[in-house]
Each structure stands twice: as C-alpha cells, then as structure tokens.
Amino acid sequence: MIVHNDRPVVMETPLELLRRYRITPKEILYIRSNQVYEICNKLDPMPLKGGIEIIGMVTVPYTLDVSRLKEMPQKEIEMVLQCSGNGRSFFSKRVKTSGTQWVKGGMGNIRFKGVPLKVVLKRAGVSPLASFLTIEGKDSPSIPTASDFEKSVPIKEAMDKAILAIEMNGEPIPAVHGGPVRFVLPGFYGTNQVKWVHRLRVEAHETTNVAQAKRYRVPIDIVEPGEKISFTFKNSRPNWYQRIKSFIWEPMGGEKIGLNKKILVKGAAWNDGKAPITDVEVSTDYGMSWKRAEIDMPTSPYAWYLWQCEVSFNKKGVQEIWVRATDALGRTQPIDGTIYWNAKGYEWFGIDKVSIKVI
C-alpha cells in the first residue's frame, strides 16, 4: 500500500494489487479518513451496537437501535468506491494542486449490504418540504477547535438509492472502513459515504459545514490553472456524482513490449450509474484513431465495467496507450483532463495514458 498520511490514515492501493480482484478485498482497499477515530484504526469490525438519531424535518424523530439493523430488510450493492481526489496528481502536472497527490488507486470495487434508507426514514415521516439529508459520523476533528465533518446529499437520491451498510464484501464492515454502520450512496464520490454514522438530519438546505461549503467542491465555470476562488453555493457545486472514467492496469507504465507482438490491454471503467457505459476505446497513435474494446458488463450499474482490447505496435521506442469511456448519455472523457483544473484537484476524469517501451 502507498501511505500518504498516518494521522488521519490515508492509503492508496497500487494498481498491481487492484487489478487482481473484481471485488477489492478489505486488506487492499484504499483508506481515506478526514478525521481521527482512534478505536477504528483497524481492519477488525466494531460491535453492531449504539444508536443513530433521526432528526430534523420529520414527523417522529427517533433513535434507531443499531443492533436491530440485522433484522430489517437488506439490500446489497456492488459499486465503485472512489475518493473525489483520486487522480489529483494529474492536475498537478499542469499546476500544483493542494491535498493528497493521489494517482489512480484511491478507489475500489466493493459490495456493500445494509438497510435501505427509505425503510429507516419511513418510520420517521419525512416532510415533503425536505430537500437534503445531512449525515454525521462519530469521528472528531484532530484539532479540537476545527469544524466537525458532515455531508449533505439530495434527499431524493438518498431515499431512492442509499443504504445504512453493515456489511462489506459479505462480512461486517471493518472499523477503518466505516463500521459498524456506514452511509452508502452508490454513484457518489467517497466523501459522501460517511463512516461511523450516528446522526441523520432531514433538512431544507445543505449544511454550511466547512466540508460541504468550502471543501469538496469544484467551480461551476472553468478556471485558469493556478487560479484560486473562494467557494460559495452559487459559484461551485459539491463533489456528488462520479464523473465517467476509465483506466489501464495492464500493461503497467514502463513495461517492455515486443515489436508487432499482439498484447491485451486491460482495465476498468465506471460512471455514476445514471446510464450504461456503451463504449470503451483504445488508441495507440495518440488519439488519431480508436479501437473498440470488449466490455464485460456488470450486473450493477454502479460497478466496474472490466474491458480488454488487443493491440500491437509496429514502431520501436517509447509509445503510449490511451483509453476513454463513453456512456449512453454521450458523456465521455476529455483528451486533456487539465481543462477542468481546480485548485483542490477534485474529480479528475481525463483519458488514461500509459507509456510503454516497444523493443
């Protein structure tokens, strides 16, 4: 694992490990914690106990007994879990961005299982005037005077798709990955998948918490690389929906390939689940032409689409392999991802490029 920070823990998965599994094992799944929660810095699960407050714009506020979650209706979701800063280092090749310089491994393909949020909120009676759900975890700021971490998401999306997850890959969620209960909303970036849930607030507006109002946002309008702006709710939007993305994990950068030898280029693609990915294309001539890859369609719209494409090179020296994905809504990846440069380096989704040496 690539260790970016030890307090709070931030670790990235090398692609050499990520490519071995369709479902990413807990032992190699990336770790991103915004705050410190000492008792949860471990892969062992925490006891399924405690309470989750349901408050705000509801008819009957109540505290959900966490130990009862196992007895309630369950739903399992296979989905890509990805930090919104994944790929930040590629923005920094243009102008340095702030934050952890993630490469490609701030993600994984996971199965989460838990209670549909609509089951939990139905008992409370959600006001028709409510627009957002704000989620709080049990963790605390590493600096006592700092603002606590909480996130808001659209209430309709949460009611339709979210679960209070108690299992990951068929086991109790490891403590470091948010157990005993993690808020899970497929298609959204990892920052919204709040760990160690202990309070849900049904509200009319997004929280003004720093994590929602000043961090984890991108400008609505394109900015010049190097330009910094002070975020407001009008000039920016939150890191909610994952951008369409693809990447290459075979061959790895720097590998040597035989002249005219046929090889299989492999990798994965995904988006926010709003439309199926219809095309994954590979280029070996710097985007002059593209070849369609074979796609292994997932059973879940939020999961990895594994793909492969046979190519060969007829010229020696350093060459590049490019890949891009397109979905049924026509959304695709820009050749130059830095056109969406932002000072915090969020939501990288440029085409993936791997350099190899043909011998």
CA distance 104 to 82: 10
Check: CB of residue 160 under 8 Å from CB of residue 53: no
Average pLDDT over residues 9-27: 96
Q: What is the pLDDT of residues 221-243, one digit of tens each?
A: 999 999 999 999 999 999 999 99
Closest among 109, 91, 118, 344 to 239, alpha carbons compared: 344
Q: Higher pLDDT residue, 175 or 147?
A: 175
Higher pLDDT, 39 or 22: 22
* SS3 of residue 193 by DSSP: coil
Tell me the pTM: 0.96
Tell me the domains of the chain and their CATH numbers. 2-238 (3.90.420.10), 245-358 (2.60.40.650)
What's the full length of the chain, in residues?
A: 359
6: pLDDT strictly greater than 90: no
| Residue 38 confidence (pLDDT) above 90 | no
pLDDT tens profile 69-97: 999 999 999 999 999 999 999 999 999 99
Strands (E), 277-316: 277-283, 291-292, 294-296, 305-311
Interval 269-283 mean pLDDT: 99
Quote the pLDDT of residue 243.
99
Radius of gyration of the chain (CA): 21
Residue with tokens 């600096």: 143
Annotate 39-104 with DSSP letters as a single string.
GG-SSSBPPS-SEEEEEESBSS-EEEEGGGGGGS--EEEEEEEE-TTTTHHHHTTTS--SS----S
Which residues lie across from 154 on neighbouring strands?
Answer: 132
Find the mean pLDDT for residues 192-210.
Answer: 97
Question: What's the confidence (pLDDT) of residue 8?
Answer: 82
